[in-house]
Amino acid sequence: MTQCILNFTVESTDERLTPRAGQIVFGRYLRHINEPLILDIDATIIESHKSTAENTYKQFPGFSPIIGHINGGYVVHSEFRSGNIAPADYNLSFVKRCMAQLPKDKRLSYLRADSASYQHALFDYCEANHITYTIGARLDSRVLENIDEITQWEPIQETEGKDHHLKEEVAEFWHTMHESQHAFRLIVIKKSITPMLPGIWEMLGEEEKLTLARERYSVIATNADPDTMPTLFMLFKETLQHNWQRHTIQTIRYKLYHIAGKVIWHARRLVLKVNSEFVEILHAIHKRAMKQAWNILTTLFLLTHSKR
């Protein structure tokens, strides 16, 4: 996706520049953008020894300002924060204040941020407001377990079709947080590093394994639509009721696969008999599955006839 940077010149003025004047300039800038709006947010640490400076997480006094800019060209909002405020604090409220600065006829389409914004509340807000996000993910023990289960990696290629000189590989899987109501994709980039001697990995503790894994893997969370057809597991999860879609496959196995049932043929119909408490759940799953199948068949039909 290209980004629009307006041509400009620098001139001096005696006019008093107010926040209202900045909003007017910002509105003029946005009117020249004919592409989706992208918000980038990032916090940084500035070392300072002023009396008002607070100790930062990097163990020196300073401040922690955070800035949001639109399409790489204009700062839409900024906050000069104390150094004892972590980069992960108040990111959702900051995004909301950035969006409040936009003109009424403009809406935010994309959000990009680092792993400080890897938060379920921010993800749910983006889903509710139809914002596509791409955010650095935290590699914790649960994510590492999923990465260890990946069996197929694709080499990252350059534009000419050749393998990347760093010999990196990429894969992805669907993931969710316990507090979130939505699943999202985790894109994993595996770097080629010197292999470890046999047996050493099993001797390491959990934190030591995570430290080494962060040197080898980079992880990105996104709710963007994949270019390929959805995976079978993703389609399966979409057929579940809303509060089940955030479950891992292990939880689904426990809640769904352990239901006892009996299949019988009665009155020229195939019938699945289960306990009464599971009837409503299975009816809903069956209805969603039929809807998903119809949507896929309709899409395939349109694609087939559009190529004729």
134-147 CB burial, b ≥16 within 10 A, e <16:
bbbbbbeeebbebb
Q: What is the CATH number of the domain that holds 126?
A: 3.90.350.10
Look up the pTM and report it: 0.62
**Whether 188 and 97 share a structural domain:** no
Distance CA 296, CA 165 (A): 39
Q: Which tens digit of pLDDT belongs to each residue from 150-175?
A: 888 888 765 455 554 557 788 888 88
Instruction: Tell me what pLDDT residue 230 has.
Output: 46
User: 221 with 113, same domain?
Assistant: no
Same domain assignment for residues 109 and 141: no
pLDDT, residue 96, reads: 93
Asked if the model's pLDDT at residue 19 lies above 50, the reply is: yes
238 within domain boundaries: no
Which of 68, 102, 131 terminates a domain? The answer is 131
> Who wins on pLDDT, 78 or 158?
78
Together in a domain, 122 and 147? no
Chain segment 191-239, per-residue pLDDT in tens: 877 777 777 777 788 888 888 888 888 898 998 876 544 444 455 555 6
For 149, the domain range is 137-227
Tell me the mean pLDDT in the region 89-112: 88
Of the pLDDT bands very low, low, confident and very high (cuts 50, 70, 90), residue 122 is very high
Domain ends where: 167, 197, 227? 227
Q: How far apart are CA 30 and CA 24, in angstroms?
A: 10
d(CA 26, CA 101): 9
**Residue 103 belongs to some domain of the structure:** yes
Is 281 part of any domain? yes
Q: What is the pLDDT of residues 272-307, one digit of tens each?
A: 788 887 788 778 877 777 776 676 667 666 655 555
Q: How many domains does the chain have?
A: 3
pLDDT digits (tens, 9 = 90+) for 21-38: 555 566 666 666 677 888
The reply to whether 242 falls in a domain is no
Domain boundary among 178, 197, 227: 227
